[in-house]
Structure 1
Amino acid sequence: MDSGQYTFVINIPARFQTDLLAGRQPAIQVNVDATAMSQAFMGAGYISRIFQRELQAYGGQSEAATQAPVKLVSRALFNTNLEGGWFLAVIQIVNNITILAIILTGTALLREREHGTLDHLLVLPLTAMEIMLAKIWSNLLVVVVCTWLSLEVVVKGALGVPLSGSMSLFLLVTAVYLFASTALGIFLATLARSTPQFGLLAIPVIIPMLLLSGGSTPLDSMPQWLQWVMQGSPSTHFVSLSAAILFRDAGLSVVWPDLLALTAIGLLFFVIALLRFRKSLAS
Structure 2
Amino acid sequence: MNLKHQYHHKPVLVKESIENLITDQNGIYVDVTFGGGGHSYAILKKLNKKAILISLDQDKESIKKNFIKDKRFHLFHNNFIHIRNILNRSHIDKVSGILVDLGISSLQIDNPIRGFSNRFNCVLDMRMNQESFYSAQNVLNECSKQELFHIFYEYGEFKNAKKIAEKIFKKRSKKNILTTLDLIHIFFMKGSFKKRKKFLARLFQSIRIEVNNEINILKDFLLESSRILLPGGRIAVISYHSVEDRIIKYFFKRGIIVNKIHFKTLPFKMIHKKVIKPSFQEIVNNPRSRSARLRIAEKT
TM-score (norm 1): 0.28
More strand by share: 2
TM-score (norm 2): 0.26
Structure of greater relative contact order (alpha carbons < 8 Å, 6+ residues apart): 1
Give the structure with higher Rg (CA). 1
More helix by share: 1
